[in-house]
Amino acid sequence: MIRTNYLNSRNGQINIENSISMQERFNFIVDGLRAHAKAIEKIGLS
């Protein structure tokens, strides 16, 4: 999930940053909500 991006800046230096894309963050949140919903259904509070 975590990617290391090598970005060339205008002055020629290389910036290294670990980034998680917005799509990956969104998918992570959605997966968490789905798991939570399934747990609620099993308990019977839905």
Q: How many residues does the chain have?
A: 46
pLDDT of residue 1: 47
Q: What is the pTM of this model?
A: 0.45
* Helix ranges (DSSP H) in the chain: 22-43
Query: In the chain, how many domains are there?
Result: 1
**3 with 16: CB under 8 angstroms?**
no
| Residue 19: closest CA among 8, 3, 31 | 3
Task: Please indicate, yes or no, if residue 29 is contained in any of the structural domains.
Answer: yes
What does DSSP say about strands 3-8 and 14-19: parallel, antiparallel, or unpaired?
Answer: antiparallel
Task: Please indicate, yes or no, if residue 3 is contained in any of the structural domains.
Answer: no
Task: Please indicate, yes or no, if residue 25 is contained in any of the structural domains.
Answer: yes
Task: Please indicate, yes or no, if residue 40 is contained in any of the structural domains.
Answer: yes
Task: Return d(Cα 22, Cα 30) in angstroms, integer.
Answer: 12
Task: Please indicate, yes or no, if residue 11 is contained in any of the structural domains.
Answer: no
Task: Please indicate, yes or no, if residue 38 is contained in any of the structural domains.
Answer: yes
**Residue ranges making up the domain that contains 27:** 21-46
pLDDT in tens, 1-46: 455 555 555 555 555 555 667 778 888 889 999 998 898 888 886 5
